[in-house]
């Protein structure tokens, strides 16, 4: 390379040095803004998640919304650093958003359903719900879907629209729940005696609610079946005791009935054998 060529390169570099410096500073600034947006977004998400006076469902939803909003502002700011007209960009994005919205109506309906769930609050994080054929404990509520865990700890991601469009059954909302235990006794047994025995079992368990009067345990004859008198043991309990109490009382009722000679019958069928009349006549003629 000749001295003349070297001099030309130096001259070009000197002439373009302000531009190089300007673009270098813009790149450094853009990187700093992107990093700051990411850090501030994560910080805001964690701060919202740490506000105990807010409901857990609201914390997760607002934290995610705030995080992505801050990161979007950071990206728009970076584009402005490079001379992109953000006002025009927002207009273009608005038009593109309309087109995308028409093409992604199902996805956006999930966002709208998530907002409605957040506002009306049919369930919270930690509640056990069912919607249609899907059921589980709510682990998180996002913009697009709800995360559930089944009793055997299988992960389920359900689009918010699918939950919102169906009936939502919340088994954790109310503090107390009623349950029935069905059993049968023999027609030969005394119904009153069976009621006394089962009521004694129910009243002996402190987890069974005794007040108010309309929630006291009851034992009622519900049906005269083909082979038994069907009874119902009805009682109220705390939602936290529901399943353990059901299992314990089912066992206790069976053992108490057995100990007092009350029979829980098996299905039976009576067969009547009728001889062939024609056969008897033929035998008499012979």
Residue 86 in this model has a pLDDT that exceeds 80: no
Query: pLDDT at position 78, please?
Result: 76
Query: pLDDT at position 108, please?
Result: 76
Mean pLDDT (the chain, rounded): 82
Q: Which two tokens stand for residue 67?
A: 């995080």
Residue 211 in this model has a pLDDT that exceeds 80: yes
| Average pLDDT rounded to a whole number, residues 51-55 | 70
For residue range 244-264, list pLDDT tens digits in order.
999 999 999 999 999 999 998
Tell me whether the CATH fold assigned to 122-170 matches the one assigned to 176-259. Answer: no
Query: pLDDT at position 155, please?
Result: 96
What is the percent of the chain where pLDDT is above 90?
41
Residue of 58, 51, 162 whose CA lies nearest to 119: 58
Q: Selecting from 3.30.70.100, 3.40.630.30, 3.20.20.140, 3.30.70.1230, what CATH number does the domain 176-259 have? A: 3.30.70.100
Residue 224 banded pLDDT, cuts 50, 70, 90? very high
Q: Are strands 218-224 and 134-141 parallel, antiparallel or unpaired?
A: unpaired
Which of 15-24, 47-56, 106-115, 187-196: highest mean pLDDT? 187-196
* Segment among 95-99, 121-125, 127-131 with least mean pLDDT: 95-99
Residue 286 banded pLDDT, cuts 50, 70, 90? very low
Domains of the chain, residue spans = 3-103, 122-170, 176-259
| Average pLDDT rounded to a whole number, residues 185-195 | 94
**Rounded Cα distance, 246 and 201, in Å:** 12
- Distant-in-sequence, close-in-space partners of 31: CB < 8 Å, separation ≥ 6: none
| Average pLDDT rounded to a whole number, residues 103-116 | 75
Query: pLDDT at position 109, please?
Result: 82
Residue 11 banded pLDDT, cuts 50, 70, 90? low
Rg of the chain, C-alpha, whole Å: 37
| Pair 51, 59: CB distance under 8 Å | yes
259 burial level (CB within 10 Å; 0-12, 13-18, 19+):
exposed
Residue 201 in this model has a pLDDT that exceeds 90: yes
More confident site: 55 or 156: 156
- Distant-in-sequence, close-in-space partners of 130: CB < 8 Å, separation ≥ 6: 168, 169, 171
Residue of 251, 194, 252 whose CA lies nearest to 228: 194
Domain 122-170 has CATH 3.40.50.1390: no
Query: pLDDT at position 206, please?
Result: 93
Query: pLDDT at position 199, please?
Result: 96
**Rounded Cα distance, 113 and 142, in Å:** 10
Residue 87 banded pLDDT, cuts 50, 70, 90? low
SS3 state of residue 229:
strand
* Segment among 116-120, 219-223, 257-261 with least mean pLDDT: 116-120
Q: Selecting from 1.10.10.10, 1.20.120.140, 1.10.287.1260, 2.60.120.380, what CATH number does the domain 3-103 have? A: 1.10.287.1260
| Average pLDDT rounded to a whole number, residues 236-246 | 94
Q: Is the dihedral of CA 29, 32, 34, 40 positive or negative?
A: negative
For residue range 133-166, list pLDDT tens digits in order.
899 999 988 878 899 999 999 999 999 999 998 8
């Amino acid at each position: 390379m000749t001295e003349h060529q070297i001099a030309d390169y130096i001259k070009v570099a000197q002439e373009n040095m302000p531009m190089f410096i300007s673009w270098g500073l813009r790149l450094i600034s853009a990187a700093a803004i992107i990093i700051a947006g990411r850090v501030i977004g994560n910080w805001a998400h964690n701060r919202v998640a740490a506000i105990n006076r807010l409901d857990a469902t609201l914390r997760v939803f607002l934290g995610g919304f705030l995080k992505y909003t801050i990161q979007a502002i950071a990206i728009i700011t970076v584009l402005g650093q490079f001379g992109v007209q953000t006002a025009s960009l927002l207009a273009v994005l608005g038009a593109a958003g309309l087109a995308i919205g028409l093409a992604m109506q199902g996805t956006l309906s999930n966002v709208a359903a998530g907002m409605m769930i957040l506002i009306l609050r049919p369930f919270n994080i930690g509640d056990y719900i069912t919607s249609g054929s899907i059921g589980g404990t709510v682990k998180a509520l996002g913009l697009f879907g709800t995360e559930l865990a089944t009793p055997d700890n299988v992960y389920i991601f359900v689009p918010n629209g699918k939950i919102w469009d169906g009936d939502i059954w919340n088994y954790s909302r109310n503090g107390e729940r009623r349950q029935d235990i069905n059993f049968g006794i023999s027609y030969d047994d005394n119904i009153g005696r069976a009621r006394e025995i089962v009521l004694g079992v129910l009243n002996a368990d402190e987890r069974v609610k005794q007040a108010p009067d309309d929630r006291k345990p009851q034992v009622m004859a519900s049906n005269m079946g083909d082979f038994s008198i069907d009874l119902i043991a009805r009682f109220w309990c705390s939602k936290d005791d529901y399943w353990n109490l059901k299992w314990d009382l089912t066992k206790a009722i069976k053992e108490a009935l057995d100990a007092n000679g009350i029979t829980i019958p098996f299905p039976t069928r009576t067969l009547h054998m009728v001889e062939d009349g024609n056969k008897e006549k033929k035998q008499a003629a012979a």
